[in-house]
Amino acid sequence: MIYTVTLNPSIDYVIKVNNLTNGQVNRVAEEHVYPGGKGINVTRILKNLDNDNIALGFVSGFTGDYIVNSLKDLNLKSEFIKVKEGFTRINVKIKSDEETEINGQGPKISEEELNKFYAIIDKLVDGDILILSGSIPSCLDEKLYEKIMERVNSKDIKVVVDATKNLLLNVLKYRPFLIKPNNHELAEMFDVELKSTEDVIFYARKLKEMGARNVLISMGGDGALLVSEDDEVFISSVAKGEVVNSVGAGDSMVAGFVSGYLKTGSYEEALRLGAASGGATAFSSDLASREFIDRLVKEINVEKIRKSLS
């Protein structure tokens, strides 16, 4: 089974306002409400690609009920821990002349509630896949991802981590199956400026040396690059289309990559489906549909630009 973890999910309230003006009443021209959070985005795309999975994390209050019910309406499985204090956050995303985001705080999670979550993690078995996505709420230990990976380390579980800087760097000692920073995050991790594809490869390999088995780097309009566990380097092209939504594109790439790998066992095909899934979401107002992904995957070229060093 595939499990996704969203520690701080949200209701994403996406609105379009023509000529947003501070200090005045602004009228909404268009509005959408989605269950949000990086792990939930991964869950939705995995399901669109016919991969059964279970969403894990914490929810609270009436907004948490909305998250659970929305996933149920989409025929998605979840085992969220219901938190007593606070409520699941609402994130407001305003699209106008510029994009503005206002993100809520989220609930307070107690030690007892955290232990209930650990009890679910402890039930994972050999062959499962665990996908850890996004930030850790400020009420929880910043080493939570490390603690989760330590708990499953003795089992044959493929762990995927999509997080930023220290959250990602600190889990490398547990040899995650896949990590997916973007090129800006990669530069930030090593405090460098990436001036070429060779630079991206060099620092992606550094992350491999530090423990990651596969390193997937999303590079926006320049495609995506994979350094595989065999030290082969693949780079994908980008599908053509108009970017209308940056939210969830990276999560869609993770889901597409995992789905492609499970179906084919090929890193090349995994990268192709990952790139198509990320592009399809970027070109959609919501997360990508299966039909759109299937259409774009035919446009994606994947080139092996370097064989393994062995």
Enumerate the active-site residues. 251
Q: Decide: 214 and 225 in contact? Cβ < 8 Å.
A: no
Write out the two tokens for 203: 């620092």
Phi, psi of 277 (to 5 degrees): -65, -45
Q: Which of 161, 133, 304 is nearest to 226 (CA)?
A: 304
Write out the two tokens for 238: 């980008």
Report the C-alpha gap between 239 and 243 in whole angstroms: 11
Report the C-alpha gap between 216 and 225 in whole angstroms: 6
Q: Which of 38, 31, 22 is nearest to 251 (CA)?
A: 38
Q: Which of 78, 86, 94, 1 is nearest to 37 (CA)?
A: 78
Report the C-alpha gap between 277 and 279 in whole angstroms: 5
